[in-house]
């Protein structure tokens, strides 16, 4: 409030104003040494900022974090994040039941993957509020290496992101995948790459110019369209990826397609030789 962390309250009001939030969530500060924040709840979500953020971030970066969490609230992420947190707690109990843990593992794994992807959407919300991608890049550097950003270099961080994306061997790619499975957030280098790609694509500039879907136009959207768009995005990500494992999967899919085509031709030749080519299909 104005009397409790007044500067934070002003930043919160600024972010809510830019994102046109009519019903503001409650905002809390919690004592914690970890650079993190979160949004929790169902119908009336609330936001929690770890106290370390106030010690390590400047005002623009703190505004970005607040906007990030508001992005989760606006996007409807909070319900599913809360559900995931409850499922993770329940999985501890389920592990004592034979095959109980296995029954919810797939659900948790799918929700974790969605959860990590939701962070990329919220990253976009934060730069729509700060309107300066460099603020988010600096924030991700601090999330990766701590507050001493004067000892860090933007170019080196981008090079590190490129190195991570290309990977090394297929085994390295498998290790990357396994390391990521237990994470609540994508690694900062992944978030940096995705955010910069979105900015460079021109989508960010279009929104700032006013070219975006209004709330009164959202009624035509449906779950089927969302699922189709998500599937297309995964396909596009795999096609663009320079990761060795992704390249192997692309080659395997191409070879399977060619093999299927050859099998189809042979089957047609056998069919024609037995029944004759009558011209009918």
Q: How far apart are CA 110 and CA 121, in angstroms?
A: 17
Helix (H, G, I), strand (E, B) or coil at 38: strand
Residue 8's nearest CA partner among 48, 62, 68, 56 is 62
Biggest CA–CA distance in the chain, Å, is 89
Pairing of strands 46-50, 37-40: antiparallel
Q: How far apart are CA 114 and CA 106, in angstroms?
A: 12
Token output for 77:
């992420």
59-74 helix and 6-18 helix, angle to the nearest 10 degrees: 50
State the catalytic residue, choosing from 2, 61, 69, 119: 69
Q: How far apart are CA 29 and CA 54, in angstroms?
A: 9
Token output for 273:
């030789």
Q: How far apart are CA 128 and CA 138, in angstroms?
A: 16
Residues 101, 104, 109, 115, CA torsion sign:
negative
Whether 165 is catalytic is: no
Cβ neighbours for 128, distance < 8 A, ≥ 6 positions apart: 18, 19, 67, 204, 207, 208
CB contact at 8 A, 112 and 136: no
Q: Annotated active-site positions, please? A: 69
């Amino acid at each position: 409030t104005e009397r409790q962390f007044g500067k934070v309250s002003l930043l919160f009001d600024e972010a809510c104003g830019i994102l046109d939030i009519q019903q503001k969530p409650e905002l809390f500060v919690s004592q914690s040494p970890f650079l993190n924040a979160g949004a929790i709840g169902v119908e009336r979500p609330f936001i929690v900022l770890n106290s370390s953020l106030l010690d390590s971030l400047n005002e623009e970066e703190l505004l970005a974090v607040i906007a990030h969490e508001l992005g989760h609230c606006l996007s409807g992420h909070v319900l599913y994040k809360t559900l995931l947190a409850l499922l993770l707690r329940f999985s501890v109990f389920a592990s004592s039941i034979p095959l109980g843990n296995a029954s919810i593992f797939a659900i948790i794994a799918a929700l974790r993957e969605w959860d990590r992807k939701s962070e990329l959407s919220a990253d976009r919300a934060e730069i729509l509020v700060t309107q300066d991608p460099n603020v988010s890049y600096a924030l991700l550097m601090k999330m990766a290496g701590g507050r001493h950003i004067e000892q860090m270099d933007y170019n080196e961080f981008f090079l590190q992101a490129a190195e991570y994306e290309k990977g090394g061997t297929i085994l390295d790619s498998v290790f990357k995948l396994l390391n990521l499975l237990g994470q609540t957030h994508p690694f900062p280098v992944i978030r940096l790459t995705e955010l910069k790609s979105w900015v460079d694509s021109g989508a960010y500039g279009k929104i700032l110019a006013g070219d975006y879907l209004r709330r009164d136009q959202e009624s035509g959207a449906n779950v089927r369209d969302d699922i189709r768009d998500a599937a297309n995005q995964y396909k596009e990500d795999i096609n663009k990826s320079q990761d060795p494992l992704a390249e192997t999967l692309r080659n395997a899919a191409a070879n399977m397609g060619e093999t299927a085509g050859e099998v189809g031709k042979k089957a047609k030749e056998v069919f024609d030789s037995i029944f004759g080519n009558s011209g009918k299909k």
